[in-house]
Amino acid sequence: MRAFEAMNPAAVTVTLLLTACITIFCLEPVLLGISLACAIAYYLMRNGCRHAAFHIGALGMPLLFALLNPLWNQHGETVLFIINQRAITQEALFYGGVTGLRLAAVFYWFRNFSDLMTSEKLFYLFRGFSPKLALIFTMAVRNLSLFRAQAKKIQTAQRALGLYREGHLIDDLRGGMRVFSILLTWALENGITAANSMSARGYGSGKRSSFTYFRWHNGDIVLLLMSLILAAFVIDAAFRGILTWQFYPQRIPPAVTLPYLAALAAYTALAMLPVIYEGKEVLTWHCLRRSI
Amino acid sequence: MIRSEKVRRVLRIALPFVIMPALVLLLPRAMQAKYYAPVTFLMTGFALLLFLAGFERRELGTRRMILVSVMTALSVLGRMLPVIKPITALTVLSAMYLGPEAGFLTGALSAVLSNFIMGQGPWTPFQMLAWGLIGLFAGLLAKPLRRSKLLLYLYGILSGIGYSMVMDIWTTVWTYGEFSLRQYAAAVISSMPYPVVYAVSNLIFLMLLAKPFGEKLARIGKKYGL
């Protein structure tokens, strides 16, 4: 068992996407709460207590949506109070809060996903789908740092020529445009040279193979199967209407039965997978250090 | 852009004629609750897939591919500028000179790549599609756009407003879980400064870049005999 991020990217993607998709599809407050809690737990495990602004923004969502929804939405039968001849209902307030909860949970899952997926892993995933697109993608990523470095060089050279005054707004703007123009010329020409040398080495003349770090181990297949089975169980329950809430005109939660609890348990297990893998890694590390 | 010919052919026929209509018809039945947001998300994803599957067939050419990656990197760097962003202008320009496929790819890839920096989210497919389509249409209209400056500026302004309105659809669907004209109007009004900012920044960058970009590409074309 390896850390979650060391697993095969395809298995990781399937697990996270299934978790996030169920969150998107299923408007079930308890399930959304579980999803949000697991996503936050995993996020905190990886990042510690940094990025306070993101936490405040994401966790403010349910509150914001709960306050906004009644302004547009007048369904529901429990009127709390009336503003400007508009009824603010308890049901609309609740529904807004639930959609906000969904958005917050999805935010966290996507944030975790983009933290985990380095561009190299994304390349691995794209590769099977489209070699051409993967190539354009990696070259663009490489160009980013290349162009930044080149822009710095051009700027230094322009400064050395003594063309601009420092801290002068118009000169700064003109200088910026000039650097961009030079960079554009250089980038286009550099690109053509790269393309020429690629075709000189036979790019596009036959089938290509490519190197990758990632392989399928038994552990990856276990992870993939686990997440598929758990997600199938939850999705099946959702389609049978076990997890369906009625929001308007009256709030009616689904009956708390064994299948309902089982579906929630399955979802909890699915959403906990990243935390479990990560936690096991932390525990091993802790034990190893203790034994020194 | 899918490797095996068979899978591609199946996808090309199955996606628009079978999978997408089936989802639209079946999902509302399966889930009594609100289903707009997920369906919109899935549809956008499928539409993207469809475009990409279509492009693999066309021969893009090594040089054009590399130029697309260059333009993508430039527009991603440009997205880090404060307030005004050249991403649409650069997409339109590369579409005009490199063709509709290149335009679509530049727009869509710039969206994904810059979202690694700006924040990836469920809106990414929507942005990809919106920017990709701006590029695609600019590529299809390449001839008149190259001939008339006025038309190019008009396209820049319209695509800025159009982009904002397309993203407002996303906002509406995600915020309210359903789509109605009244809620859409509310979303459009609440996003008010943005369409203007987009339109103005597109206009500024097209004015600044259209001529030098055309000249530079013409020069490269002459120098390397494209």
What are the DSSP calls for A99-130, one per residue? HHHHHHHHHHHHHHHHHH--HHHHHHHHHHH-
Chain B residue with CA closest to A141: the answer is B73
Maximal CA-CA distance, chain A:
78
Compute the mean pLDDT over every residue in chain B, rounded to the nearest whole number: 79
Name residues 138-177 of chain B within 8 A of A (Cβ): 174-177
- Among candidates B156, B41, B49, which has minimal Cα distance to B96? B156
Asked whether the predicted pLDDT for residue A60 surpasses 70, the reply is yes
* Domain with B155 in it: 61-224
pLDDT in tens, B2-34: 555 666 666 666 666 566 666 665 665 555 445
Per the omega criterion (within 30 degrees of 0), is the bond before A249 cis?
yes
Determine contact: B189 vs chain A, CB below 8 A. no
Q: Kindly determine whether residue B65 and residue A136, on different chains, have CB atoms separated by under 8 Å.
A: yes
Residues A3-13 have a mean pLDDT of: 90
Among left, alpha and beta (phi > 0; psi -120 to 50; other), residue B159 is: alpha
The CA-based angle A127-A128-A131, given to 5 degrees, is 45
Confidence (pLDDT) at A35: 95
- Structural domain contains residue B206: yes
In a domain? residue B24? no
Mean pLDDT confidence for A282-292: 89
Q: Does B193 touch chain A (CB under 8 A)?
A: no
Helix (H) or strand (E) holding A237: helix A218-239
Predicted pLDDT at B1: 46
From residue A8, give the alpha-carbon distance in Å to each of A232, A284, B20, B159: 21, 20, 30, 40
**Total domain count for chain B?**
1
Question: Is the ipTM above a cut-off of 0.95?
Answer: no
Q: Is residue B40 part of a domain?
A: no
Task: Out of A92-96, A288-292, B24-28, B47-51, pick the least confident.
Answer: B24-28
Residue B192 located in a structural domain: yes
CB contact under 8 A, B62 and A148: no
Cβ of A184 within 8 Å of Cβ of B120? The answer is no
Within an 8 Å CB–CB cutoff, is residue B220 touching chain A? yes
- The pLDDT, as a whole number, for residue A128 is 67
For residues A72-81, one letter each, b for 16 or more C-beta atoms within 10 angstroms of the residue's C-beta and e for the rest, the string is: bbeebeeeee
Q: Which residues contact B144 (CB under 8 A, 6 or more apart)?
A: B151
The minimum CA-CA distance between A61 and chain B, rounded to whole Å, is: 10
pLDDT at A163 over 60: yes
- On chain B, the residues whose CB falls within 8 A of the CB of A137 are 69, 109, 113
B182-187, long-range: CB < 8 A, 24+ apart: B182/A72, B183/A72, B186/A72
Q: Residue B54: inside a domain, yes or no? A: no
Picking from B31, B62, B67, the nearest residue to A188 by CB comes out as B67
Average pLDDT for residues A227-243, to the nearest whole number? 90
C-alpha span between A88 and A74 (Å, rounded): 7
Rounded distance between C-alpha atoms, residue A42 and residue B152, angstroms: 48
Residue B2 lies in a domain: no
Let me know: does B163 contact B131? Beta carbons within 8 Å: yes
Q: Give which of B46, B63, B70 to mutate to test A binding, by max A Cβ within 10 Å.
A: B70
Closest chain A residue to the Cα of B30, Cα to Cα: A239
CB B55 within 8 A of CB B135: no
Does residue B4 sit at the A interface (CB-CB below 8 Å)?
no
Q: Is B60 on the interface with A (CB under 8 A)?
A: yes
B136/chain A closest Cα distance in angstroms: 16
> What is the mean pLDDT of the segment spanning B116-134?
80
Is the CB of B121 less than 8 angstroms away from the CB of A139?
no
* pTM: predicted TM-score of the whole model, two decimal places: 0.71
Instruction: Please tell me which residue, A60 or A164, carries the higher pLDDT value.
Output: A60
CB contacts under 8 A, A 195-254 vs B, are: 195-196, 198-199, 203-204, 238-239, 241, 244-247
B121 φ/ψ angles, rounded to the nearest 5 degrees:
-165, -175
Q: Pick from B41, B74, B220: which is nearest to A147 by CB?
A: B74
- Tell me the C-alpha distance between A130 and B4, whole Å: 10
Q: What letter would DSSP give residue A253?
A: P
In this prediction, residues A43-59 reach a mean pLDDT of 88
Helix or strand holding residue A82 (H, E): strand A79-83
Sort out which chain B residues have CB atoms less than 8 A from A241's CB and list them.
32
pLDDT over 80 at B42, yes or no: no
Q: Which residues contact B168 (CB under 8 A, 6 or more apart)?
A: B184, B187, B188, B191
Nearest-neighbour CA in chain A from B41: distance (Å): 9
CB contact at 8 A, B66 and A275: no
What span, in angstroms and rounded, lies between the C-alpha atoms of B197 and A234?
44
* B18 inside domain: no
Q: Does A116 touch chain B (CB under 8 A)?
A: no
The answer to whether residue B49 is domain-embedded is: no
SS3 (DSSP) at A79 = strand
Residue A82 has pLDDT above 90, yes or no: no
Q: Please write the tens of the pLDDT for every residue from A117-136.
A: 887 887 788 776 677 777 88
- Residue B38 pLDDT: 67
Chain A's closest residue to B102, CA to CA, is A136
From B65, B176, B224, residue closest to A132, measured CB to CB: B65
Q: Cβ separation of B37 and A24 shorter than 8 Å?
A: yes
CATH number at B192 reads: 1.10.1760.20
